[in-house]
Amino acid sequence: MTVTFETRGNVAVALVDRPPVNAIDAAVRAGLLDAVRRAGADPAVAALVVACRGRTFMSGADLSELGSDIAAPPYAEVLRALEDFDRPVIAAMHGTPMGGGLEIAMACHYRCATAGTRLAMPEITLGILPGAGGTQRLPRLVGLDGALDLLLGGAPIDATRARELGLDYACLGIVANWAAGAGPDPDETITLDDVLANVAAATADVGRLLGALLAG
């Protein structure tokens, strides 16, 4: 399956797996929408984590869809479902979240990224503008100046700059440690699977995780 859904403790995980770069097509959109609905139907779920297997978080739209009708479900429906979910939704980013992938992350309530993550809105380099709400959500998150730099420049920024702007709350390794009650260690490295397991184990009280994200 392109998107798998599982629960770890009281945390639901929607895990995208579409090699090589987790480009977003109709199957990915449908899988994310299904994950939101399944998480919403389970009263035991306290939070939803959106993450990806492989070398990167969703790297953007599947370019084969450009210039054609976008198959259902549309981006707007998926992003609105994430944004309107009645429990916290956390985008766990790594690699190169770009374009539509970053727009999906922006629709989540919280975002965190590994230290080596590079984020961008590169649509301008293709002669187009973001079409999944990025032009609205990005200024709300980082302010007009920061949003214009990203939208009109198209160049990637690293996780440190994203954190300075307010686009990313914390390095995943730090989040996992804080959620588990340990002191932050900015030099620690941790795999995505480790993070998901640690986050799930640490969130019997999901407020501890969110407190760690916000404190970052």
Instruction: Report which of 215, 199, 208 is spatially closest to residue 91, judged by C-alpha positions.
Output: 199
Give the relative orientation of helices 206-215 and 172-179 as an angle to the nearest 10 degrees: 130
The span from the CA of 144 to the CA of 142, in Å, is 7
CA pair distance 202, 177, nearest whole angstrom: 9
- Do the beta carbons of residue 15 and residue 2 sit within 8 Å? no
Length of the chain: 216
Of 65, 123, 164, 188, the active-site residue reads 123
Structure tokens at 161: 């700059």
Q: Active-site residue among 77, 103, 164, 188?
A: 103
Encoded amino acid at 172, one letter: L
Is residue 103 annotated as a catalytic residue, yes or no? Answer: yes
Q: How is residue 109 written in tokens?
A: 């309530």
Q: How far is residue 120's CA from residue 162's CA, in Å, rounded to a whole number?
A: 10
Residues marked active site are found at 103, 123
